[in-house]
Structure 1
Amino acid sequence: MAPEETTTSHPSPSRRYAVTGTLVTDAGLIDDALVAIEGDRIEYAGTVADFTRRNDAGDFPVRMSGARIMPGLIDLHCHGSFGGDFSTSDAPTLRAALTRLHAAGTTTLVASLMSDRAEAMLSAAERIAEFVDDGMIAGIHAEGPFLAPARAGAQDATAFRDPDPAFVDELIAASRGALRTMTFAPERPGADALIEQLVSHGVIPSIGHTDASTELTRQSLDLALEELSSAGFDGYTEIPTVTHLFNGMAPWHHRTPGAAGAALEFALRRRARIEVIGDGHHLHPDTLRMLLLAVPEECLALVTDSTAATGMPDGDYPLGQLRIRRSQGQVHSAEGHLAGSASTLLDAVLLCVEAGVDMLRVLPAVTTVPAAILGLQDEVGALHEGFRADLLVLDESLDLVATIRAGEVLTESP
């Protein structure tokens, strides 16, 4: 017999309550199941039958039910959402945007900064660090400024420069230890020293926005592997990452595989981890399906590369110092380049499912893999006892019913 169901929809996180439905977990589907929440933690996740045998089962009234219950989603590459841009928006705008993004299912995220003048990037890092301190953001990703002009994409190539150790130290200091990863082009002079400097500060090197050859990319990934291993990084963080595979690099050709080919080979050999943008525009849905089916699940993270246009109507929005335009679900720069996405991570998950990928295959790419990259594998990304109570409640059509973050029921997705 299940605990008595009540109609309260927004319980206090200090109280005990439960959510019932089919759990979508890293171990598979669990039918007729229950997640018990106490404060901001998961107290139990498993079958209702097993839970009702507990002496305290009656202390966890069921507050809501859903067809599917899955862990909260984790986005490693997000430039903004709901009108807020991490590189330029003020604190009130960012707080409002983050509140809405959490409610839309992204319960953990890394804020990505655009390449810019040193002063602007340092100011943005200081501003974002406040949100890391209060738990709204899990860390900072610097997408540049040590990138290749030939593969600038929607970034401002005039802000690109060769690796500068003094600036990296300043950025790490401004981030107050929250800098988690930095995207760089391995062909820039000083890139090898940059890898060593980043790893020494606990920052993961990520290859991207590069025109490097296959061989140079291999050499850079090998060096990052060596440095991460010798530094004693644990688990998944022992291997480097690749920023949005296929985007921001030369097209993969069968006679010139380039950086994309080298990165994919390393991922297939479990020697690198690749990001893939799941909006259906940066990569065709068939390409997403191929990657999800071919790459070992521990080596692929699904990301959004989302912008301030996410969750907003068609119109113009900021992306760093640039202006971008959202139209018919796509985001472009004034020059016509794809300029990030207008998708949430839940949108990306559902697109992959619609493309023919089983939900259980997509799940690690948005939960356990990014959690481990961030060193949070014992805190978020799974429905396990003791983990932070982050979960999504979906209906039969996989529409979002509610998001729970740290035990608090948030407003429904817009």
Structure 2
Amino acid sequence: MILRGTVVADDGVIDDGVVVTDDDRISWVGPAPEYRGQAPLPEPDSSILLPGLIDLHCHGGAGAGFPNTDADGARRAADHHRRHGTTGLLGSLVSAGEQDLLRQAEILAGLVERGELLGIHLEGPFISGARCGAQDPASVIPGDPGLFERICDAARGTVRSMTLAPETAHFGELLDAMHRRGVLPSLGHTDTDAATTAARIADAAGRPLTATHLFNAMPPLHHRAPGPVAAFLAAAGRGDIVVELIADGVHLAPETVSMVFDTVGPEQIVLVSDAMAAAGVSDGNYQLGPLDVRVSQGVARLATADGSAGAIAGGTARLLDVVRTAVVDSGIGLADAVTSATRTPARLLGLESERGSLAPGRRADIVVTDHHLRPRGVFVGGIPAGPKGLAWKS
């Protein structure tokens, strides 16, 4: 297969570039004038060619939420995101009772084993009740290494990431258990201060570490009470942590997104969708774990008895939508935004030799968009995947 268009490659954007695949691998990438293959080149095209996107934080889509649904619903959600450019996905759970967590971990493990998900992300339950956001405060508990081990066992080794508050009980034991299990720690949903956060980052001792949706579900940055935000930004600037940003135009102001990119750079940022069941479908009533969510004009909030605005309850955008918003609204360079949605998350998961780049030898996970970054076609291992309703034309 030979694709031609604007290519977002590791070393920059190639205005008229070519990507050649051989079965499930990329075999050549470069400027069209340098192509020396025997097969004829396609005509110049306005398409943009991106590596397959990788979302480390996603609760569902297409009407199904990973914390609630069965295997068929989870498969539908994963397929929806894949068809819209996310060729690698962690299925995110939320704080819930032990039996619910064990059941959902076992369900999602099957999708991981079949290659439909890259792994499971546990967002809780070892988080701050004061900053639980759209999670059930009754399900938030102190850190429990035994429960963590039981969830990992139920997931058959497919847990890849876990969000926990820096101030939770048994933090050091949990960190050691995550290291043994190959689980990426992510600090967030916290009500602690800058000093405690910095100490916990130091406890990681150079191991990979992320901050769950920076700014959201944590105290705001204040010049006399800098809180965890300051500690996360400082650590990201040093290269000690990677910060998640939900750059969907709802969770963060455009200027906030551009400030973080200017401050720490795309290699220390991972763009995420935090999508929930309503991603890709209409407004209405949904669930996120045990809580009711109402989506209006594309914004998901916890349902309240008096109809007032509840806490933001995840996103309704796909990761490609987030990339587009970062570029268009925040002015982030295309190559930088793509890096934070591809190469950076691939590195965090230890998959940088396999995914995250349009480079020879990598899997042929390729997203083709128009010049507005809207999907025209998606290839997973060289096989067309959608998006749904759109036929790929080579």
Alignment TM-score, normalising by the size of structure 2: 0.93
Q: Which of 210, 229, 251 is matched with 1:282 structurally?
A: 251
Is the aligned partner of 1:374 residue 2:349? Answer: yes
- Per the alignment, residue 42 of structure 1 pairs with 26
- SS at structure 1 position matched to 2:47: strand
**Structure 1 Cα separation of the partners of residues 76 and 161 of structure 2:** 25
Is the aligned partner of 1:337 residue 2:317? Answer: no
- Per the alignment, residue 407 of structure 1 pairs with 382
- SS at structure 2 position matched to 1:410: strand
- Per the alignment, residue 361 of structure 1 pairs with 336
CA 1:333–1:384 in structure 2 vs 1: closer, same or farther (change >3 Å)?
A: same
- Contact in 2 for aligned 1:214/1:257 (Cα 8 Å): yes
Cα deviation code 1:114-162 (max 9, x no counterpart): 1100111011111101111111111111001111110010000111111
- Contact in 1 for aligned 2:214/2:244 (Cα 8 Å): yes
Q: Which of 204, 208, 230 is matched with 1:239 structurally?
A: 208
Cα deviation code 1:11-55 (max 9, x no counterpart): xxxxxx21111211121112332211222211222233333x24x
- Per the alignment, residue 232 of structure 1 pairs with none
Q: Which of 112, 122, 125 is matched with 2:102 structurally?
A: 122
Is the aligned partner of 1:181 residue 2:181? Answer: no
Is the aligned partner of 1:109 residue 2:93? Answer: no
Measure how far apart 1:265 and its partner are.
Answer: 1.1
CA 1:19–1:309 in structure 2 vs 1: closer, same or farther (change >3 Å)?
A: same
Cα deviation code 1:176-214 (max 9, x no counterpart): 221111111121221122112211221121111111111
Measure how far apart 1:63 and its partner are.
Answer: 11
Alignment of 1:9-408 (within 5 A): 17-51=1-35, 53-54=36-37, 57-58=38-39, 65-224=45-204, 226=205, 229=206, 238-335=207-304, 336-355=310-329, 356-408=331-383
One-letter identity of the residue aligned with 1:108 = G
**Structure 2 Cα separation of the partners of residues 412 and 189 of structure 1:** 44
**Structure 2 Cα separation of the partners of residues 372 and 110 of structure 1:** 14
**Structure 2 Cα separation of the partners of residues 43 and 65 of structure 1:** 20
**Structure 2 Cα separation of the partners of residues 128 and 200 of structure 1:** 21
**Structure 1 Cα separation of the partners of residues 59 and 373 of structure 2:** 26
CA 1:197–1:63 in structure 2 vs 1: closer, same or farther (change >3 Å)?
A: farther
Measure how far apart 1:304 and its partner are.
Answer: 0.9
CA 1:61–1:124 in structure 2 vs 1: closer, same or farther (change >3 Å)?
A: farther
Identity of aligned pairs, percent? 39
For the aligned residue pairs, the C-alpha RMSD in angstroms reads 1.7
**Structure 2 Cα separation of the partners of residues 388 and 324 of structure 1:** 37
**Structure 1 Cα separation of the partners of residues 107 and 99 of structure 2:** 12
Measure how far apart 1:62 and its partner are.
Answer: 5.1
- Contact in 1 for aligned 2:197/2:231 (Cα 8 Å): yes
- Contact in 2 for aligned 1:147/1:160 (Cα 8 Å): yes
Cα deviation code 1:257-313 (max 9, x no counterpart): 111111111111111111011111111111111111211321110111110010011
**Structure 2 Cα separation of the partners of residues 28 and 110 of structure 1:** 27
**Structure 2 Cα separation of the partners of residues 119 and 64 of structure 1:** 55
- Contact in 2 for aligned 1:18/1:64 (Cα 8 Å): no
- Contact in 2 for aligned 1:19/1:63 (Cα 8 Å): no
The number of equivalent residue pairs is 383
- Per the alignment, residue 3 of structure 1 pairs with none
- Contact in 1 for aligned 2:78/2:89 (Cα 8 Å): no
**Structure 1 Cα separation of the partners of residues 316 and 47 of structure 2:** 27
